[in-house]
Copies of this chain bind each other. A is one copy, B any other.
Amino acid sequence: MKSPDTLRIALDAMGGDHAPRNEVEGARKALDRSGPSLGIILVGDEAAIRAELSRQGSSESPALSIVHASQVITMEDPPTASVKLKKDSSLAVGMRLHKEGRAEAFASAGNTGAVLSASTLILGRVRGVSRPTIGAFIPSEHGKCLVLDAGTNVDCRPRHLYEFAVMGSIYYRMICRKERPSVALLNVGEEKTKGTEAVLEAHRLLSGSALNFIGNVEGRDILRSTADVVVCDGFVGNIILKFAESVPGFLKTHLRRFAETSLMQKLQVGIAAPVLKKALSDMDPNEEGGVPVLGVNGVSIIGHGSSSPRGIMNMILRAAEVAASRINQQIEEELAGSAMQPTVDGGAALAETGRI
């Protein structure tokens, strides 16, 4: 992987809920933060982007260029179909800039499914990966926990869960600077006899792998930091991540209701609420910025649709960080070197002789 003097990020300027405003402001913040080693290409409706730059008292520059794209994929568009139909969308144009080597990474806070489809369709898969995946971080008691798959792959075979574990482990190592992150399977009990057929077989595959596999964890173990990387199918992952996301809003409503009961309680909540907000600030998805599509031939970062300018900035900085890493090479090497590589069924036999 080349190491250019400047890392250029193609940013989908029309992606998020507040595009292009937050995208433009986030890009400017990212440039302020990182200095001359970063270049950002704003991809989208040129007039709209130019107007927004002007409104923010800024303008095009070598570090902050514009590439026009006449179409937009909305949050409501069907992911795969829209990528194929809207060939001049900011998403497709930006992804192709990256594919063609005119940018070292692509980032978007737009339609997650569409970014995922475009990543796989345009960039292709890393050798050895059958299903690209995205994960999401949940803050936990002693750090953060990477849960994957986050909703990309609803029905998963054991081999897919195994690949998620490999890719998640590499990504966690890179982001959290932890040499051998612990990896666990999300399950309904710690015993290796628990769970669905797919999870039972995945347990065997993982037990025979070189990963730091610690076995099964339960729903309660995610927030308790029992494992660094928690692997599950996208059905469970999506549900648990969306549930977790809804917790702060629930607490807010609950406290507000409590405050309505009496003046004394109102005063108490008035004191407590800002403390809680500050203490829980790391639950804000804008802190993370975005997560990569793992397993595609390139760097494609997906941010939250509701990203603030700071969220967009963090997404761009994350894109640069991933682009500067050797993550895809590592994924390919680890999957090629793994005992599970040749066949899926071979893994079980090998695990029998191994470290279960």
Smallest Cβ-Cβ distance to A268: which chain B residue: B275
Smallest Cβ-Cβ distance to A272: which chain B residue: B272
Q: Does A280 contact B (CB under 8 A)?
A: yes
Q: How near does chain B come to A191, taking the closest CB pair, in angstroms?
A: 10
Q: How near does chain B come to A336, taking the closest CB pair, in angstroms?
A: 31
Query: How far is A241 from B151 in the complex, measured between Cα atoms in Å?
Result: 19
Which residue of B151, B186, B258 is within 8 Å of A239 (Cβ)? B186
Q: How near does chain B come to A66, taking the closest CB pair, in angstroms?
A: 34
Query: How far is A75 from B185 in the complex, measured between Cα atoms in Å?
Result: 23
Q: Does A343 contact B (CB under 8 A)?
A: no
Chain B residues with CB below 8 A from A140, complex form: 250
- Knowing A151-B188, A219-B238, A280-B254 touch, does A246 contact B224 (C-beta < 8 A)? yes
Q: Does A57 contact B (CB under 8 A)?
A: no
Question: Is there contact, CB below 8 Å, between A219 and B195?
Answer: no
Chain B residues with CB below 8 A from A268, complex form: 271, 275
Chain B residues with CB below 8 A from A195, complex form: 154, 235
Count of A interface residues, CB-CB < 8 Å = 52
Q: Does A176 contact B (CB under 8 A)?
A: no
Q: How near does chain B come to A41, taking the closest CB pair, in angstroms?
A: 32
Smallest Cβ-Cβ distance to A243: which chain B residue: B219
Question: Is there contact, CB below 8 Å, between A246 and B272?
Answer: no
Q: Does A2 contact B (CB under 8 A)?
A: no
Q: Indicate with 1 or 0, residue by residue over A178-197, a CB within 8 angstroms of chain B CB atoms.
A: 00000000111000001111
Q: How near does chain B come to A320, taking the closest CB pair, in angstroms?
A: 30
Q: Indicate with 1 or 0, residue by residue over A215-226, a CB within 8 angstroms of chain B CB atoms.
A: 000111111100
Question: Is there contact, CB below 8 Å, between A239 and B188?
Answer: yes
Smallest Cβ-Cβ distance to A193: which chain B residue: B78
Q: Indicate with 1 or 0, residue by residue over A137-160, a CB within 8 angstroms of chain B CB atoms.
A: 000110000000001001100000
- What is the count of identical protomers in the complex? 2
Q: Does A253 contact B (CB under 8 A)?
A: yes
Chain B residues with CB below 8 A from A255, complex form: 275-276, 279
Q: Which A220-269 residues sit within 8 Å CB-CB of chain B?
A: 220-224, 232, 234-236, 238-247, 249-251, 253-255, 257-258, 265, 268-269
Question: Is there contact, CB below 8 Å, between B250 and A154?
Answer: no
Query: How far is A234 from B199 in the complex, measured between Cα atoms in Å?
Result: 14
Question: Is there contact, CB below 8 Å, between A239 and B254?
Answer: no
Q: Does A278 contact B (CB under 8 A)?
A: yes
Query: How far is A316 from B197 in the complex, measured between Cα atoms in Å?
Result: 37
Question: Is there contact, CB below 8 Å, between A219 and B197?
Answer: no
Q: How near does chain B come to A224, taking the closest CB pair, in angstroms?
A: 6
- Knowing A188-B154, A271-B268, A275-B269 touch, does A219 contact B196 (C-beta < 8 A)? no
Smallest Cβ-Cβ distance to A254: which chain B residue: B279
Chain B residues with CB below 8 A from A218, complex form: 238-239, 242
Chain B residues with CB below 8 A from A258, complex form: 275, 278-279
A binding-site residues for B, Cβ under 8 Å: 140-141, 151, 154-155, 186-188, 194-197, 218-224, 232, 234-236, 238-247, 249-251, 253-255, 257-258, 265, 268-269, 271-273, 275-276, 278-280
Additional A-B contacts beyond A222-B246, A255-B279 (18; CB < 8 A)? A151-B188, A155-B197, A187-B239, A196-B235, A219-B238, A219-B239, A219-B240, A219-B241, A224-B246, A240-B243, A243-B243, A243-B244, A251-B251, A251-B280, A255-B275, A271-B272, A271-B275, A272-B275
